[in-house]
């Protein structure tokens, strides 16, 4: 066994565990799936533990783990397709009364992530804002459009702040290749990111209060009033989506009236405000129906991603059934 400053392989778990959360966050940005990221990082730790007696300490343990993880994430992306959102696939529905269409079997969607994953990314207050911005669903959806190696370079350089030389060593590239990949990746990023214009905290609280009240009161007019004129509503796993406050109101109105007064739980996902809906079922229980992740701007709620797959929400601290109404 090689001797390193980190100690023998028996110390591996103690020394490596502090990096698990940030590696999962790195994997989530790469893959668009917390499930896949956690599974691969678990395998990375097993592989690293087995190889730890050959770790010579030429780099830090953190860098070594990132190197193993980067290879694993890139290999996984060779076998999988990108994880889109419905609005990435086609134009919005022209008729708000249209029948919603489920995606074809096998299509994997971009998953939401609880903010606990964001907390694992950094403990430095100076970088919390940047970490939050790069965990937002709109940013992750753009990452899914990049080729895997460009995606890795952009995350490592612009999100995690690694020097070009270290990224080159990590990905077995030249520094020139890293810089070229970064330039191409940056060119794909939209200039009008939805995270650029943020309302004041007071304005955001007001909009969220009104959004919540609209569902609690089954009041579609109140909902439409809180949306920006060009708001977007999508609901994976359905591929149908709508744009414009009037179209969203026309689509959701009959459903809101059918649900009746709906209890909600406020939470957050991907550094964004979120609302979990609990409409009543036929037997009178209030069951988790969807998680609405909101993009809130000065003009109102500009984007709603309603995640309808309850199984994909199991990492959130949300009850499946409410015993009493919550807000």
Question: What CATH number has the domain bearing residue 271?
Answer: 3.10.450.50
Domain boundary among 138, 155, 187: 187
257-271 pLDDT, tens per residue?
Answer: 999 999 999 999 999
Domain boundary among 165, 187, 209: 187
Domain that holds residue 300: 201-322
Residues 127 and 275 in one domain: no
User: Which range among 117-131, 168-182, 256-270 shows the weakest confidence by mean pLDDT?
Assistant: 117-131
d(C-alpha 72, C-alpha 43), whole Å = 9
Q: Let me know if residue 291 belongs to a domain.
A: yes
CATH number for the domain spanning 72: value is: 1.20.140.160
User: Which range among 120-129, 193-202, 258-267, 283-292 shows the weakest confidence by mean pLDDT?
Assistant: 120-129
Residues 27 and 139 in one domain: yes
Residues 136 and 216 in one domain: no
- What are the tokens at 133? 């911005």
Q: Let me know if residue 226 belongs to a domain.
A: yes
Residues 35 and 58 in one domain: yes
**Exposure of 240 in the CB half-sphere (CA atoms within 13 A):** 14
Residues 133 and 226 in one domain: no
Query: Do 174 and 118 form a contact (C-beta atoms < 8 A)?
Result: no
Residues 179 and 211 in one domain: no
Residues 44 and 169 in one domain: yes
d(C-alpha 311, C-alpha 302), whole Å = 26
* Structural domains of the chain, count: 2
Q: What is the pTM of this model?
A: 0.90
139-157 pLDDT, tens per residue?
Answer: 999 999 999 999 999 999 9
**Residue 192 predicted with pLDDT over 60:** no
- Three-state DSSP class for residue 157: helix
97-109 pLDDT, tens per residue?
Answer: 989 999 888 899 9
Residues 35 and 177 in one domain: yes
Confidence category of residue 133, pLDDT binned at 50, 70, 90: confident
Q: Let me know if residue 102 belongs to a domain.
A: no
The pLDDT of 158-181, averaged and rounded, is: 97
d(C-alpha 131, C-alpha 129), whole Å = 5
Tell me, rounded to whole angstroms, the distance of Cα 100 from its chain centroid: 24
Q: Let me know if residue 222 belongs to a domain.
A: yes
Q: Let me know if residue 117 belongs to a domain.
A: no
Query: Do 231 and 302 form a contact (C-beta atoms < 8 A)?
Result: yes
């Amino acid at each position: 066994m090689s001797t390193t400053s980190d100690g023998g392989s028996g110390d591996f778990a103690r020394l490596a565990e502090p990096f698990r959360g940030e590696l999962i966050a790195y994997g989530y940005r790469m893959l668009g799936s917390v499930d896949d990221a956690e599974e691969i990082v678990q395998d990375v730790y097993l592989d690293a533990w087995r190889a730890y007696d050959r770790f010579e300490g030429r780099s830090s343990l953190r860098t070594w783990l990132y190197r193993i993880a980067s290879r694993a994430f890139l290999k996984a992306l060779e076998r999988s397709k990108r994880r889109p959102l419905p609005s990435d696939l086609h134009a919005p529905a022209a008729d708000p009364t249209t029948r919603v269409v489920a995606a074809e079997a096998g299509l994997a969607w971009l998953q939401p992530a609880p903010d606990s994953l964001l907390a694992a990314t950094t403990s430095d207050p100076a970088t919390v804002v940047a970490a939050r911005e790069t965990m937002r669903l709109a940013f992750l959806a753009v990452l899914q459009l990049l080729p895997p190696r460009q995606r890795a370079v952009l995350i490592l350089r612009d999100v995690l702040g690694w020097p070009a030389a270290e990224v080159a060593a990590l990905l077995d590239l030249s520094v020139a290749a890293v810089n070229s990949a970064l330039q191409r990746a940056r060119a794909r990023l939209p200039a009008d990111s939805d995270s650029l214009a943020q309302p004041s905290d007071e304005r955001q609280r007001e909009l969220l209060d009104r959004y919540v009240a609209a569902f609690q009161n089954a009041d579609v007019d109140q909902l439409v009033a809180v949306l920006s004129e060009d708001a977007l509503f999508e609901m994976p796993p359905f591929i149908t989506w709508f744009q414009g406050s009037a179209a969203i109101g026309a689509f959701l109105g009959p459903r809101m009236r059918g649900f009746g007064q709906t209890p909600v739980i406020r939470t957050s996902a991907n550094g964004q405000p979120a609302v979990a809906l609990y409409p009543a079922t036929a037997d009178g229980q209030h069951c988790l129906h969807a998680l609405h992740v909101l993009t809130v701007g000065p003009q109102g709620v500009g984007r709603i991603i309603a995640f309808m797959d309850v199984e994909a929400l199991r990492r959130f601290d949300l009850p499946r059934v409410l015993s009493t109404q919550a807000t």
